[in-house]
Structure 1
C-alpha cells in the first residue's frame, strides 16, 4: 500500500538504536513487541492492511485512530487522527554505525508555543509521547528495564524507577547543569539551593523557571513552578542503587499537564542510561519541533 509522501513535518526525532535494522523493524511491526514498549493494544497486518495502537498510554487512545498509508522494510507511514485532527506519522529506518538510525516525523501538530500555553489538547503531548516511546524502544532492544509510560487517563502523575547508581550520583545528575545537559539534551540553568531557580532552556529563555522549596543533596528536592505546580523528587538508596520517585501535584486535575509529564518520564529514561552506561553516547541524533526556541537544545547532545 503506497500513498503520496508526507508534507513538511512539524516534528522530526532522530535516534540511533542498538540493534540491526531488521530487528528494529520487527520491534516496530510485531504487535506483541508494541504492547511491551509502546502501549497496551496493537493490531498490525502488513504490508497492505493495518497499523494500529491504542490504550491509556496513547494520547486520545480510547480506541484506534490510525490508518496505514505505506509500509516496506525501511518505512512505515500512517494517518493518525488525534483530538479530531488527522496527522501523518512516519518511521524511516537506515543503517547506522551504532545500529539503526530511526527517524520519526509527524505533520499537523501544534507549535511549541501552543503546547506550553496549554491550548493544544491531545496533540500537545505527541512530541513527548514519542520521545518516551523511542527511549523505551531503545531499552527494549537493549534488554533493559523500561521507564513507566504516561497514563493519559489519570490525574495521578507519579512514577518510580530504580537506577543502578548511588543517591548522591543521581542527585548530582539532576542538579548540575552540565550533567543535566547530557541526559536531557537541553540547556538547563540551576541554582542548587533552597530558593534557587531551575530553568529549562536557561534563565534567558525561562526567566521565571521553578524555585527549590526544599533541597537535600542525596535525599530529594521540591520545586514550585510559576503556575503553582509542585514537583517532588524522593531518593532512597539500597545496596548501591537508588529508587527515584517523581511526583507532580498542584495542577488543574481536569486538565493534567501530560506533555510535561511525558517529557519528564522521557528524561528519566535518559537519566538511567546516563548513569548506568557511563561514557556511552546518547541515542538522540536530532530533534526538530515547530516553534522551538533557538538555543534551547544542546546541539552536541542530539
Structure 2
C-alpha cells in the first residue's frame, strides 16, 4: 500500500524517531483515520510508513514539524539556512532523497559501502571512469556531497555519530591555505595530511561550524587537467547552531591514488571564509562562486 521508496522509508524512519511518542501516535491515527490501533512507537512508525501514499504528503503533515525536518537534514549533512520555511525544507528533503537514489542506481553498491568509502564509490561509478565520458562536474557534485556530510558529522551540536574523518582522505604532501575575514584578515598555511586533517576537523569539532555548500550551477564549478588533476570549486554558507555566520569559497585539487583502488584523494585545499561583517548585509542564502574558469585553469597548470 505504501508508495514510498526504500530511501524515503529510511529517511522517514529517522524523522519519525525525532518525534515525541504522543505526536507519533497521533500521526498514526491521522494517517490511518483511526482504523488501526498501535501499541508502541515501533508499530506506529511501521503503520505510518505503510499507509503513506507519497513522501511529500507525509512531509507536509502538521505533526511533521519544520524543526524536525531541519534537524534531519542537518544530521544528514544537508545544512539549510535556519530561517528556511517548511515548504523549502520539504522541497530540499525530496531532492536529497531523489539524488541519493540516483547514486544508488548508478553505483550498484550498498548504503554501508557508500558511507564508508565514498571516494572509492565515485571512482568505481561508470560516470567516474576517466575517458571520453568523464564529467568532472559529476565528480564535483558527488565529492562535495560526501566531503561536507563527512565534515559536518564531526560537529557535536548535531548529536550524530562522527563519520570516518582522517588523514587517509588526503595525499601526504597536501597543502591547505585558509583565509578568513571575520573582522580582521588572517591567513594560515598547513602542509601534510595530518596537519591539514586536524585543522579542518577543528573547524567542525571545536569551532562547531556547519558548512552548507551551494551545489547549483552558479555555486559549483569543476574542471580537469590533462595531467589527472581535477579541480572542484564550491561556494556556500557557514552556520553555528541557528545563526548564519557568513559564506565560504573552497577549492579542492583531487588526484586518483593508483595504490588505493584508484580512489580520489585531496591534493590541496584553498578555503576562504567571510564573516557577516565583511559582507555588508549582502544576501547569503545561496552564494555564487567569485572565481571564473580562467582563474581555476591557472590552478590546474
TM-score normalised to the size of structure 2? 0.27
**Does 1 or 2 have the higher relative contact order (CA < 8 Å, sep 6+)?**
1
More helix per residue: 1 or 2? Answer: 2
Larger Cα Rg: Structure 1 or Structure 2? Answer: 2
More strand per residue: 1 or 2? Answer: 1
